[in-house]
Amino acid sequence: MVNKKFRYAACVAIIVSLFFYSFKKKFREGTIDTVSIESGMISGVKSEASDIVSFKGIPFAAPPVGDMRWKAPAPPASWKGIKKCDAFGPSPMQPKPIAFFMLSKEFLIPEQPMSEDCLYLNVWTGARSAKEKRPVFVWIYGGGFTTGGASVPAYDGEAMAKKGLVFVSFNYRLGIFGFYAHPELTKESPQHASGNYGLLDQIAVLQWIKKNISAFGGDPGNVTIAGQSAGSISVNCLMASPLAKGLFHRAIAESGNMVVPNPFIKMPLLSRAEEDGVKWASSKQIQSLAELRKAPAKDLTQIGMMMGMYGPVADGYVLPEPIPDIYAHAKQNHTPFLSGWNADEGIVVVYNDKEAFKKQALRFGPDSASFFKYYPASTDEEAKSSQMSLSRDLMTGISGYKWAELESSSNSDVYLYYFTRKPPTADNKPKYGAFHTAEIGYALDNLKLIDRPWQPVDDSLAVIISSYWANFAKTGNPNGNGLPQWPKYDSKKNMTMVLSEKPQAERLPNKDALDFLYSKMSGQ
């Protein structure tokens, strides 16, 4: 009898143990993979290498085609059943991307075919419950507002999601489709504005996040926007736009903004952008907005992208004033801010010899000696190096430095960086140095997706930089256990984190040269 009771108790114990093991295993493996959003149910795909689930190709707006071309994004249509979100949506219309100079395909070329129907976003999450409220990290790609897309390999979100974030990437309209102004477009707009459709796409994504990100375990009250190059300029614009107020809570800007006059990046007023739009249409024998909307997207891409750099417009609505004016009067959306630029991201196609370069100093008159102090040219090789440094400082250095100054003077917590690591090359001659976009693989911890002979020091640096970015998204402070201390930036000490093989904080490198150039540019 005792043995029978013992066997019965043992069986019960085994059954209970198996139940709890099964429950524990199910809980452990229970990452969110099916969610309900405003438009309907969607399913994602769990990574084979981790517990991260990706949802790719989620429509955040209706297709901007036909009569919706050059209009603000409208809500997407709802659907019944469960929509499989297992692949990126089409990439925005653009000229065929071609890798050039230092920009290999991993930084530049979207994986998906191009279509005007491109307004899709992607989410990576490791959350097991909608109640977790993980910080949300929103990535905005670069490409001069003319090329790019969320499916570029270097922008994959799994690695950052593994650090406890909900990672979001998305497409926005580019070139003529995203930034075309015309009087007829302005007239039909309820806000009497045109030209910033790409920015309106970005704002629509932030509005979508506010409504839907909780379903993925994200916190709509803790959203960080981050971008590089045109993505950084986008961050600059979103911070300036009253339409984005309250939709994000921290900002990361990598190499690009318009807070000071810049010979590389100019923002037209709406009236000028409209004039350019009319001139372009007339040159193509297109007489009306109706004709423009009927033109095949492929044709507009071929003829439309050639008129120069498209970009944001001071339209009086998305951007009520030019960016420099908004920041000069502290009208931007104030938030903790992390920003910087790279040591070798100047762009010079044709180099002058030392004598030709010296002629550039003539415009500085009595201050030419100071110019050569910062940009020496005693030899042709030295002149070549100085041209690259001058190009970098004019393109991103002055504006990056002054943006940090403006934010810190507005009592925002500011963290400034200067990236100097030269990514390795197969021939061990990284001639492009710490080039424009070089930091992305480190910042998003995606070196494995970029085809280069990475060294252990690169892997270590990627862990450090991506941890800084993740910590900042979580708390507004990049510092954390085991990381070199990164002090806040202020206009007195100018402390900057130099992201090199051995990251350390020091006074902003080249600050005196930046002050000199800025004083001459601004007439101070």
Alpha-helical (H) ranges within 393-426 are 398-409
Pairing between β-strand 45-46 and β-strand 120-125 as defined by DSSP bridges: unpaired
Q: How many residues does the chain have?
A: 524
Query: pLDDT band at residue 446, thresholds of 50, 70 and 90?
Result: very high
pLDDT band at 104 (very low <50, low <70, confident <90, very high): low
Name the percent of the chain lying above pLDDT 90.
Answer: 76
Least reliable range by pLDDT among 28-42, 78-92, 308-322, 464-478: 28-42
Report d(CA 367, CA 513) in Å as an integer: 12
Question: Residue 358, exposed/middle/buried by CB under 10 A (0-12, 13-18, 19+)?
Answer: middle
| Per-residue pLDDT at 309 | 57
Instruction: Give a yes or no: residue 416 inside a domain.
Output: yes
Rg (CA), the chain: 25
| Number of domains observed in the structure of the chain | 1
Mean pLDDT lowest among 39-43, 156-160, 435-439, 465-469: 435-439
**pLDDT-based confidence at residue 323 (cuts at 50, 70, 90):** very high
Contact criterion met (CB below 8 Å) for 341 and 419? yes
User: Distance between CA atoms of 392 and 498, rounded to whole angstroms?
Assistant: 16
pLDDT the model gives residue 359:
84
pLDDT number for residue 19: 39
Burial level of 350, CB count in 10 A (0-12/13-18/19+)? Answer: exposed
138, 40 in Cβ contact below 8 A?
Answer: no
Q: What angle do CA 248, 109, 69 make, to 5 degrees?
A: 65
CA distances from 304 to 177, 237, 242, 491 (A): 9, 24, 30, 43
Q: Angle at which helices 230-240 and 197-212 pack, to 10 degrees?
A: 70
Please report where in the chains the tokens 């996040």 appear, as a residue: 209
Tell me, what's the pLDDT at 88?
97
Q: Is the pLDDT of residue 103 over 90?
A: no
Q: Which pair of tokens denotes residue 311?
A: 């970009």
User: Residue 2: how many CB atoms within 10 A of its CB?
Assistant: 6
Task: Give the predicted TM-score (pTM) of the model.
Answer: 0.92
Strand-strand pairing, 414-419 and 120-125: unpaired
Q: Report how far residue 427's alpha carbon sits from residue 430's, in angstroms, rounded to the nearest whole number.
A: 8
In a domain, 84, yes or no: yes
For range 435-440, the mean pLDDT: 94
Is residue 1 in a domain? no
Helix, strand, or coil (residue 45) = strand
Asked, for residue 462, whether it belongs to a domain, the answer is: yes
Average pLDDT score over the chain: 90
What pLDDT is recorded for position 429? 79
**pLDDT reading at 257 higher than 60:** yes
pLDDT > 70 fraction of the chain, expressed in percent and rounded: 90
Contact 31, 52 (CB under 8 A): yes
pLDDT of res. 16 = 40
- β-partners of residue 45 are 54
- Rounded distance, CA 79 to CA 65, Å? 19
| Alpha helix stretches (DSSP H) within 165-229 | 175-178, 183-188, 197-212
When pLDDT is averaged across residues 237-243 and rounded to a whole number, the result is 98
How high is the pLDDT of residue 15? 45
Region 57-79: mean pLDDT is 98
Per the CB < 8 A criterion, the answer to whether 418 and 506 are in contact is no
Distance CA 430, CA 343 (A): 13
Q: What CA–CA distances, in Å, run from 446 to 12, 297, 421?
A: 49, 33, 15
Going by pLDDT thresholds of 50, 70 and 90, the confidence category of residue 102 is: low
User: 133-147, 180-194, 427-441 — which is least confidently predicted?
Assistant: 427-441
Expressed as residue numbers, the domain containing 462 is 41-473+487-522
CATH of the domain at 407: 3.40.50.1820
Q: Is residue 378 part of a domain?
A: yes
pLDDT tens column, 328-355:
999 999 999 999 999 999 877 677 788 9
pLDDT band at 480 (very low <50, low <70, confident <90, very high): very high
DSSP 318: S
pLDDT at 304 over 80: no
pLDDT band at 373 (very low <50, low <70, confident <90, very high): very high
Residue 417 lies in a domain: yes
Provide the pLDDT for residue 28. Answer: 39
Sheet with strand 40-43: strands edge to edge: 34-37, 40-43, 82-84
d(CA 170, CA 60): 9
By the 8 A CB rule, do 114 and 91 touch?
yes
The answer to whether residue 132 is domain-embedded is yes
Name beta bridge partners: 121.
Answer: 58, 170
Which residue reads 């008159």 in tokens? 365
pLDDT by residue (tens digit) across 265-296?
778 999 999 999 999 899 888 889 999 999 99
Q: One-letter amino acid identity for 388?
A: M
DSSP string, 47-65: -SSSS-EEEEEEE-S----
Residue recorded with tokens 């190499």: 255
- Residue 26 belongs to some domain of the structure: no
